């Protein structure tokens, strides 16, 4: 069952996940620590570059299917204009109320 992002348990993850759906780049970057890092399918990526390409440059949208690990793990149906729709997993590390690490990949 799909869960709205505004009901996610962790406020930092909730802010991160809601921003693409609202096409709100400012809010998404505000949800991150200044030195936040990420990996995509196990490969290190430049987080800001990846977000600009995979999310904002291609109209990304996340429908959360489930959450785990106190809200730090998500399974979502993610879609954008480049890849269309796919099942994805998202693991977040949160420090000081902001996302410091993101790991994503196909579910």
Average pLDDT of adjacent 10-residue blocks, the chain of 107 residues: 78 94 93 96 95 90 93 94 90 97 94
pLDDT on residue 103: 97
Domain chopping of the chain, boundaries? 5-106
- Copy the structure tokens of residue 94: 């949160």
pLDDT on residue 3: 61
Domain 5-106 has CATH 3.10.450.50: yes
Q: Which residues are bridge partners to 40 per DSSP?
A: 43, 104
Distance in angstroms (rounded) separating the CA atoms of residues 45 and 84:
20
- Copy the structure tokens of residue 41: 């399918």
pLDDT on residue 90: 97
pLDDT on residue 11: 95
pLDDT on residue 13: 96
Give the start-end residues of each E strand in the chain: 32-40, 43-45, 61-68, 73-80, 84-95, 98-106
pLDDT on residue 107: 87
| DSSP helix/strand/coil, 49 | helix
Q: pTM (2 decimals)?
A: 0.91
């Amino acid at each position: 069952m799909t869960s709205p992002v505004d009901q996610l348990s962790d406020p930092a993850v909730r802010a991160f996940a809601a921003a693409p759906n609202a096409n709100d780049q400012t809010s998404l970057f505000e949800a991150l620590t200044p030195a936040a890092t990420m990996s995509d399918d196990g490969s290190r990526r430049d987080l800001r570059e990846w977000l600009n390409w995979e999310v904002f440059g291609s109209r990304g949208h996340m429908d959360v299917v489930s959450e785990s690990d106190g809200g730090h793990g998500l399974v979502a149906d993610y879609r954008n204009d480049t890849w269309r729709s796919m099942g994805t997993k998202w693991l977040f590390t949160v420090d000081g109320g902001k996302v410091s690490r993101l790991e994503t990949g196909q579910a």
